Amino acid sequence: MDATEIPQRRVPRGGARHFLMVLSDRTKSNGHKLKHNKLHLSLRKNLITLRVAEHWNRLPREVMEPPSLEETFKPHVDMFLCHLLQRKPVVLTGLELGTCTTKWTIDYLSQAEGSKEVKIHVSAVPQMDFLSKNFVYRTLPFDVFVQRAAEVKHKEYFLTEDEKYYLRSVGEDVRKDIADIRKQFPILAEDVHIPEYFEKEQFFSSVFRISSAGLQLWTHYDVMDNFLIQVTGRKRVVLYSPRDAPYLYLSGTKSEVLDVDNPDMEKYPLFVKAKRYECVLEAGDVLFIPALWFHNVISEEFGVALNVFWKHLPPESYDKTDTYGNKDPMAASRAIQILDRALKTLEELPEEYRDFYARRMVLRIQEKAYRNDYG
């Protein structure tokens, strides 16, 4: 299936149609410069001051060649991230991320956190499937894991000599504790500067990730806004709008379609209707993934990333037992439970009546809950 890919270009000033309103220094005719403009937005009662680089460049619309490094990494202005209201993904480049982008070599990572044990995913195939669990969990010293994840062929292995490795950091108690790089990897955390795009009380988690080259993660959505910070290596990310959920063959928060580049159209005939967005993240790039946007991630190189999740909705909207950021909001869970009970009630009717009233229910949901003003 052909991709609708992400444009890698700057939006003309005054023409940030999809995502950003750019505010920069302007030189007056008399040679004096205007001061930086700083805008603030009250977004769901949260005051957000956003500082991003001028050359954010890449939007999940149509793929074009990425800009040169010289143009990309020159943050020098205050911008207002108005695309947050549009609820669409965007790639930001040139952000100040700390020394991690230069320090996190394989040797440095191995030495920094040493032999502390980490639980990892090991897969004999590149495409990991959470639904069928085509991978195993194993434990390795962190320094050994990093070396193995960076290899293509392994002298020591669990399954095969070309097996893939994946680390998704978790809390000390995986059932109760939330991932936080400051707690699980405190030495590495000192190298990271997380841009302040949200209030401190909105912070949910910071998930440290390391992937072997060629590894592909299943398509899924999260219920919180997040930034995928690509520290080292290169990733390709394929995204789908929440409104395309009917075409993604969902099982919970995951899609059954693993190979988004070459899907089985006999098994998943509706998948062709899903509009595909795509981008390539280079080291130092940050992808904003709004809550509910589906994403599939392919590591084109060995790479290290950090996911930062925050609560876009009021705190009481979320399930307090959620440690991974993927449990449906409380109101959504209640609505689904009510729907299940309603469907159970329909079973009391003959098939002809059940079909008719089910269609009426669908129409009512469409009339009352669907929206048409986003992609």
DSSP notation for 32-76:
-BPPPP---EEETTEEE-----S---B-SSS--PPPPHHHHS---
Strand order, beta sheet including 254-255 = 250-251, 254-255, 216-220, 294-299, 235-240, 276-281
pLDDT the model gives residue 22 = 29
**Domain coverage including residue 351:** 331-369
Dihedral sign computed on CA atoms, order 165, 302, 288, 307: positive
Q: Does residue 187 form part of some domain?
A: yes
Structure tokens at 255: 């899609």
The runs of H, that is alpha helices, within the chain are 69-72, 83-86, 100-103, 106-113, 142-150, 181-184, 186-189, 330-346, 351-369
Residue 111: inside a domain, yes or no? yes
* CA dihedral over 130, 136, 140, 144, signed as positive or negative: negative
Residue 24 within a domain: no
Which residues neighbour 9 within 8 Å (Cβ) at sequence distance 6 or greater? Answer: 57, 58, 59, 64, 67
Residue with tokens 């129409």: 363
What is the DSSP secondary structure assignment for residue 367, as one 8-state letter? Answer: H
> What is the number of structural domains in the chain?
2
| Neighbouring C-beta atoms of residue 12, cutoff 10 Å | 9
One domain for residues 353 and 275: no
3-state secondary structure of 89: coil
* 200 and 311 both lie in a single domain: yes
Token couple for 254: 């995951």
- Look at the block and give the residue holding tokens 């996190």: 104
Per-residue pLDDT, 81: 55
Q: Is the dihedral of CA 226, 262, 218, 234 positive or negative?
A: negative
Q: Is residue 29 part of a domain?
A: no
Look-up: residue for tokens 């899609």? 255
Bridge-partner residues for 279, per DSSP? 237
Do 313 and 355 fall within a single domain? Answer: no
pLDDT at residue 174, as a whole number: 84
Tokens of 236: 């390709």
Residue 199 has a pLDDT of 84
pLDDT of amino acid 373: 67
Q: Is residue 5 part of a domain?
A: no
- List per-residue pLDDT tens for the chain, 375 residues long: 445 544 443 333 333 323 332 223 333 333 433 333 333 333 333 333 333 333 334 444 333 333 322 223 333 334 435 556 678 888 888 889 999 999 999 999 999 999 999 999 999 999 999 888 999 999 999 999 999 999 999 999 999 999 999 999 999 888 899 999 999 999 999 999 998 778 899 999 999 999 999 999 999 999 999 999 999 999 999 999 999 999 999 998 999 999 999 999 999 999 999 999 999 999 999 998 999 999 999 999 999 999 999 998 999 999 999 999 889 999 999 999 999 999 999 999 999 999 999 999 999 999 999 987 655
Is 8 inside any structural domain? Answer: no
pLDDT score at 90: 83
Note whether 281 and 343 are same-domain residues: no
Are 129 and 169 within one domain?
A: yes
Q: Give the burial string for 246-261 (b: 16+ CB within 10 Å, else e).
A: ebbbbeebbbbbbebe
Output the six-digit token pair for 189: 């955390």
Cα gap 269→353, rounded to integer Å: 28
Q: Are residues 186 and 294 in the same domain?
A: yes
Q: Are residues 306 and 360 in the same domain?
A: no
Indicate whether 12 belongs to any domain: no
**Do 87 and 164 have their domain in common?**
yes
CA 307 – CA 168 distance, rounded (Å): 10
Considering the domain architecture, whether residues 234 and 341 belong to the same structural domain is answered as: no
Q: Are residues 243 and 336 in the same domain?
A: no
Same domain, 312 and 350: no
- Flag whether 44 is in a domain: no
Report the alpha-carbon distance of residue 156 to residue 271 in Å, rounded.
39
In this prediction, residue 37 carries a pLDDT of 35
Whole-angstrom distance, CA of residue 128 vs CA of residue 137: 12
